[in-house]
Amino acid sequence: MPKIKTHRGARKRFKKTKKGKIKRSQACAGHLKRKKTSKKKRNLRESILLNKTDRKRIKRLISL
């Protein structure tokens, strides 16, 4: 069975934490910034943990 190649798009979008969870950036952060409040833009800068149901699929894409 051949090795699974890393999905290059997924590798750029997801990072692994020390405990093995997956971090991702939030949606709606890169477009139409003048309509968003300062609080909303500040909160969108933070990364959040990936949902548990998606974790297995993304781990296979980024070959962890």
Question: CA dihedral in degrees (52, 53, 58, 60; nearest 10)?
Answer: 110
Would you tell me how many other CB atoms lie within 10 Å of the CB of residue 36? Answer: 15
Q: What's the pLDDT score for residue 31?
A: 86
Q: What are phi and psi of 49, to 5 degrees?
A: -80, 145
Range of the domain at 29: 8-61
Which CATH number is 39's domain given? Answer: 4.10.410.60
Q: What's the pLDDT score for residue 64?
A: 55
Q: What's the pLDDT score for residue 38?
A: 93
Answer yes or no: is 27 within a domain: yes
Taking every pair of C-alpha atoms in the chain, what is the biggest distance, in angstroms? Answer: 51
Total-model pTM: 0.76
Mean pLDDT by 10 residues, the chain (64 residues): 88 92 92 90 94 90 77
Answer yes or no: is 35 within a domain: yes
The domain tally of the chain equals: 1
* pLDDT tens column, 37-47: 999 999 999 99
